[in-house]
Amino acid sequence: MTNHARVRQVIARRLALRSRRTITEQLTDEWFPEERAFFDDPAQLTAACCGRRAGKTRGLVRDHLRDVLTVPGYRGLYLNSTRGEAERLAWIGNRGDGFQPLVENLKLPLKLDGSDLTIYNPATEGWMYLRGADDEPELRKALGGAYHKVTWDEAQKIPPKLGQSIREVFFPALLDFGGRFRMTGTPSRSRSGLFFDVTRPDIKHRLKGWSVHHWTLLHNTFFGATHDERWTRGVLGLQQLYGGSEVAPIDSPLMQREAFGRWVPEETSYVYAVHRVPQDQLLYAPHRRREDGFVDIPKALGDLPWDWREGMFSMGVDIGFHPDPFAIVLWGWSGRDPALYEVASWKKTHLTSDEQNAAMKAVRENVAIGIIPADAGGPAKPTVRGWSKEWVERYGLPIVEAEKQHKHTAIDVMNTDILKGNLKLRDGSPLYDEMSVLQWSTVVSATGKLIEDPTMDNHCCDGGLYAHRHSYQFRWRPEDVKPEPGTPEAIRREEQELEDDIEEAMDDGYYH
C-alpha cells in the first residue's frame, strides 16, 4: 500500500470516528442531568424508580444504541414482561422513538431484524437483543449468554417469585465483560418483588449493592422548558386524564405513584392489617438469624418481654420444595400477656424431607412444642397426603393437619389481633416482609370472591395463620361477632364459608 493510500485510510477512519461521535451526541444530547446521571452511572447494578412519562424507555433505547455503535463486540439485552411489550415500547416506541425508527431516521450503519428483534453492527460485530420474559423458562433461555449490559424495563411487573431466578440467570452473565444490570420502572400498588426490594422507600431495608436513581416527568424537558410548564402539561394533564382533582387528588396513592414515582400503599388492598397500626406498636424486636442463615432461636427467645421458660409456643409449617419454599413460623405467648409474639420465621426452597425435618427439630430443641399444624400446596401436596403416617412414623414429629377451612374468617380474626395490638412481629423477618406486601389480587374469582395475589409469597403468612389458630386453644381469643341472621352481612359470610368449604374439598381431591 502506498503512503498516499495509507493517508486516505487514516483520514477515512478519523472521519468515521468523528461521525460516530456526532451520532452518539445526537442520541444523548437531549438527556437532562438526572437521566444522564443514571445512564452514565458506572455501578454494575443500577435502578431508576420514576413516574410515568419520565423518558425511561426512550433513554434506554438511545443508551443501547450508543454502545452498539461504539463498543467492540457489544452484547446488549433489553427485557420487558412480554415480547409484545418489548416490541411496542422499545422496538417501535410510543412516539416512533424506538430502535427501528431511530436507526432508519439517523441512517445508522446497523442491520435490523424485526422478526427476531435483533440489531447487528458489522463494523464492531456488536449485537443488541430485545426479549420478553413471561416466566422462569423464558428467563432461563438467556442463561449461558454474556452481556455488556442487561436492562429490564417496566421492572415493577417482575413477579416476586422470579426475583431469585433473575439473579441466578443474569448476574453470572455479567462476569465476562464486567457488564451492568439495570432496572427501570414506576411504583405499582403491589409493593413487592425485586424492583420494590431494590427501590423501596425505607432505605435501610433495600437490597444492598444497588445504585438507585429517581426522577419524574417534572424533570423531563419534553413537557416544557420550565418547572411550571412541566407541572401544567405533565402533572395536571395526567390528573385530568385520571378524572380530575376529585377523582385523583395530588396526594392520592394513584397520583403519588404515577406522577411522582413514590411507593405509596393502598390500605384496603392488603390482606393483613400491618400498615394500619404504628410500626413501633407492631414491631417489638429485630429478626434474629445465625451466620448460616437459619433463625437464632436462643437469641430470639431472649427478646421476649417475659421469661420464655414460662411461656407457651405454637409452630406452624407450610411444606414446599420449589418454587414454593418450606416455611416455619414460631409464636410464643404468656398467660399474663394477651399478645402473641413472633419468636421466629424462616423459609427456604429446595429442601428435602429430611432437611425440612431437621429444621423443625432444630426449633423444637430449644422450646417445647406440643403439636405442629402444617400443610402444603403445589408440587409438595403429594408429600403431605398421609403425613400422619409418613411424617409422624418416619420422623417422630407431632404434626397435625392444619385447619384451612374458613380462611378469610381466620384472616379477619388475625387482623383483629393486629389492630388491637395483640400481635407482635419482628422487624425484617420473613413473616413481616410477606405480611407487609401480600395483597388481594386485582383479578377475583367468578363469584367475586377476593383471592390472594398468586404472584406473591404467602408461605410464612400461611404457616403463621395455622399456628395462630392453634394458639386459641390456650390463650385469650378475640370475640367473633356474628352478624344478625338474615342480614346481607350474614348471607355474604355464609356464602364465603360455603365457598371455602368447597375449595378445601377440591384441594383434598373430593371433586375433580
Comparing 466 with 510, the larger pLDDT belongs to 466
Q: How confident is the model at residue 249 (pLDDT cuts 50, 70, 90)?
A: very high
| Residue 273 and residue 415 in contact, taking contact as beta carbons nearer than 8 Å | yes
State the pLDDT confidence band at 502, using cuts at 50, 70 and 90: low
Residue with cell 408461605: 459
Q: What is the pLDDT of residue 45?
A: 96
The 8 Å CB, 24+ separation contacts for 295-299 are: 295/328, 295/330, 295/344, 295/345, 295/346, 295/363, 296/344, 297/330, 297/343, 297/344, 297/362, 297/363, 297/366, 297/367, 298/366
Q: Which three cell numbers stand for residue 351?
A: 429442601
What string of H, E and C letters represents the secondary structure of 190-205? CCCCHHHHHHCCCHHH
Query: Which amino acid type is present at position 277?
Result: V
Please choose, from the candidates 177, 144, 143, the residue with its C-alpha nearest in 3D space to the C-alpha of residue 74: 177
- In the prediction, which pLDDT does 391 show? 63
Read off the pLDDT of each residue in 358-363 and give the average, rounded to a whole number. Answer: 92
Q: What is the mean pLDDT of residues 53-58?
A: 93
What pLDDT band is residue 120 in, cutting at 50, 70 and 90? very high
Residue 339: half-sphere exposure toward Cβ, Cα within 13 Å:
18
Q: For 131-181, how does the pLDDT look when each residue is reduced to its tens digit (9 = 90+)?
A: 887 656 666 666 567 999 999 999 998 877 777 778 877 888 889 999 999
In the structure, what pLDDT confidence band is assigned to residue 470 with cuts at 50, 70 and 90? confident
- Identify which has the larger pLDDT, 444 or 375: 375
* pLDDT value at residue 331: 95
CA distances from 237 to 51, 94, 97, 193, 300 (A): 14, 18, 22, 30, 52
Q: Using the predicted structure, report yes or no on whether residue 388 has a pLDDT greater than 70.
A: no
pLDDT for residue 5? 62
pLDDT value, residue 478 = 47
Q: How far is CA 160 from CA 123, 199, 377, 378, 458, in A?
A: 40, 14, 18, 17, 11
Phi-psi region of 47 (alpha: psi -120 to 50; beta: other; left: phi over 0): beta
Q: What is the pLDDT of residue 167?
A: 80
Residue 384 has pLDDT above 50, yes or no: no
Per-residue CA distances from 402 to 312, 411, 466 (Å): 19, 14, 6
Task: State the Cα–Cα distance between residues 248 and 240, nearest whole angstrom.
Answer: 8
Output the pLDDT for position 511.
42
Give the percent of the chain with pLDDT over 90. Answer: 51
154: number of Cβ within 10 Å: 21
Say what the pTM is. Answer: 0.62
Residue 487 has pLDDT above 80, yes or no: no
Domains of the chain in sequence order? 26-215 (3.40.50.300), 273-481 (3.30.420.240)
Task: Report which residue type is found at 286.
Answer: P
Q: In terms of pLDDT, which residue wins out, 169 or 130? A: 130
Question: What are the tens digits of pLDDT across the range 275-290?
Answer: 889 999 999 999 999 9
Average confidence score pLDDT of the chain = 84
Residue 512 has pLDDT above 50, yes or no: no
Classified as helix, coil or strand, 287 is: coil
* Residue 251 pLDDT greater than 80, yes or no: yes
Residues 6+ apart with CB under 8 A from 455: 159, 160, 161, 190, 192
What is the maximum alpha-carbon separation in the chain?
Answer: 103
Q: Burial code of 224-253, b = ≥16 C-beta within 10 A, e = fewer? A: beeeeebbeebbeebbeeeeeeeebeeebb
Query: Which distant-in-sequence residues (6+ apart) come within 8 Å of 198 by Cβ?
Result: 47, 183, 206, 207, 210, 212
Annotate 413-450 with b (16+ C-beta within 10 A) or e (fewer): bbbbbbeeebbbbbeebbbbbbbbbbbebeeeeeeeee
Q: Which residues, in sequence order, are bridge partners of residue 401?
A: 374
- Which residues, at least 6 apart from 337, have a Cβ–Cβ distance to it below 8 Å? 305, 306
Is residue 305's pLDDT more than 60?
A: yes
- Top pLDDT among 3 and 303 is at 303
Can you give the pLDDT at residue 432?
A: 95
Residue 483 confidence (pLDDT) above 80 = no
Question: What is the average pLDDT across 183-208?
Answer: 89
- 71 closest CA partner among 164, 171, 158, 148: 148
Is residue 499 predicted with pLDDT exceeding 80? Answer: no
